[in-house]
Amino acid sequence: MNQNIHPFKLLDTFFKGYSKPQHILFSDGRTYVVKFKNNPSGTRVMVNEYIAGKLGQLLSLPVVPFEVVQIEDDFIKESPVLSKHKFTSGSQFASLFIDNCIQLLRDSQNEHVKVSNRDHLALMMVFDLWIGNTDRKENNVLLEPAEEGEYYLHMIDHGRCFSEAKWTVKTLRKMPNVSVNLNVHKWCVSLLQSQNEINAAIEKIMAIPEKAIHEVIKSIPDDWDVSELEREALVTHLVNAKQLLPELNLQSKKKKK
C-alpha cells in the first residue's frame, strides 16, 4: 500500500460503471480513478483489478499505473456522493487518470487506428484469455495520442475476471475459455502478422514462475476479505489456466487482407 499519498479532493464524477468509480485528486498532485470497498459490484472486483494489474506488470503489459491507497471514514463522510454509496474505509484501488484519450469504436473504423505499441496486442489478448477477462470491450481500451498520428494503447478495467466477477473457490475450478470471441480481441488478431506473435505471447505467460503468481496473490490487501483457501484456489486456477493457452491457434481465424 502506498502510504505516501492521501486523498485531497473529490472531483466531478463523470465515470460510468456498476462499481461507481470516483475521480479523486491526491496529495501527489495527480488524479486517480478510485474503486472503493463495498461498491455496488462488490469488493471482489477490486481484487480482480489488483491481480490483473500485478500480473500485467510482471509481463510489462500497458496496464494503467495503479496504487492501493488508504481512504478513511472522515474523507468518505464529508462527501455526500461517497456517503450515498455507503463505501467502506480502508484499502482502495486507485488507477492513474490519463487525460486526452479516446476509445476504440464499435465498427470497422478501428481498422484505421495506428497503435504505436502494436507489439503488446498479442500479449494483451492472450493475457485476457488466461485470466478469463470477459470485459475487454471497446471502452476498456484507452488510446493516448502519440507521435505521427499513432496512439499508445492502455489497458483498463479488469474487474470481471476469472470468468465470474464474484468468483468463489467452487467457480475457480472452471477453466477459462481460450477462444477469441470479443470484438477487441478480433481486432487484435486482424493486426497480427503471424501465429508466431501468439506463440511468443503464450510462451511469455507460461514462463511466469508459480512462485511469482503466489507472491501476487499473497500481496492482496488483507481487508479485501480473501481467505487463505480462496488465495490457494486462485493460484491453482492461474497455474492450471496457463496450460490451456497452447490450444490457441489463430491461423485459420486471422482476418484475410
Cell 488465495 found at: 231
pLDDT of residue 256: 42
pLDDT of residue 108: 57
pLDDT digits (tens, 9 = 90+) for 230-241: 999 999 999 999
What are 6-15's contacts with CB under 8 Å, separation 24+?
6/69, 6/70, 7/34, 7/69, 7/71, 7/75, 10/79, 10/81, 10/82, 13/81
Domain residue ranges of the chain, discontinuous segments joined by +: 7-96, 102-247
pLDDT of residue 107: 64
d(CA 121, CA 250): 14
How would DSSP label each residue in 123-161?
HHHHHHHHHT-----GGGEEEEE-STT-EEEEE----S-
Flag residues of the chain having pLDDT under 70.
13-15, 107-109, 251-257
pLDDT of residue 252: 42
pLDDT of residue 10: 96
Task: Give domain 102-247's CATH number out of 1.10.10.10, 1.10.1070.20, 3.30.390.30, 3.40.50.300.
Answer: 1.10.1070.20
pLDDT of residue 255: 45
